[in-house]
Amino acid sequence: MGHAGSEEGGDAETVKEYQYYIFDIDGTLTRYRESVRQENFLHHNFLFPIFRDMLVERGMASVEAERRIGQVTEQIPFWDYTDFIAEFQLPPRETFRRLWQWHVENIEVYPDAVQLVHDLAAAGKTLLVVSNNPYLGCCWKLKRCGLADEFGSHVFARILGTNILRGCKCEEGVWQRALCQIPDDPARICTVGDNPVEDGEIPRRYGVGNTILFDRKAILRGIDQKKEHQEHCN
């Protein structure tokens, strides 16, 4: 599963003096199953083939469906999955069912990070998510962890995805906007993730007090876990 350590030194269990904890998702709380292959990407996303298939079922040619999906990503740079449901007038209940089923079949959970979430919540800490997934993508992955559903989370005070922060964590402005969500000194914030740069170095430039890093070795069969929503980062 990997080892969790603090960038300032010490084990994750010793990092208790912070009031706010900002969690990453991909590679930290969840991972892709080994059966997930990068060739299943459509426009750098694993879920877009579901939209394509639903459009084909409704009579659209596959090539045209893929073109139309790409067109939406260009028109709405910081999209969420509901943008595609609305654009193509897909039935929400059936679309949500298929999207959730994909997560059930393809997303696995890291129990150590989920336990850390529960421990910090029990200690009265305020927890947030900052992720390279759009909001609904965050919710479905957190749902796999038992930490949220499509309507939000009972554990995390805020879930900040790419469509809310208008970018990815590789962009410094995103962390600046994320930290503005917390009305307190950044020194009282600890980030939790698996990427030393996105989850550690960049937020610490803005005064974040510490970072808990999970060493996941999270490249799975050539799939970079940070790239599922890389269209926002290009």
Is pLDDT of 92 > 50? yes
pLDDT of amino acid 148: 95
Strands 20-23 and 126-130: parallel
Cα 39 from Cα 106, distance rounded (Å):
15
Average pLDDT value for the chain: 88
pLDDT, one tens digit per residue, over 178-198 is 999 999 999 999 999 999 999
Chain-centroid distance, C-alpha 145: 12
Q: Torsion angle, CA of 182/186/189/190, rounded to 10 degrees?
A: 130
Identify the DSSP state of 13.
G
pLDDT of amino acid 232: 44
The pair of structure tokens assigned to 127 is 């927890």
Closest to 191 in 3D by CA, of 182, 227, 183, 1 = 182
Closest to 212 in 3D by CA, of 229, 188, 196 = 196
The pair of structure tokens assigned to 79 is 């999209």
pTM of the model as a whole: 0.88
DSSP SS3 for 111: helix
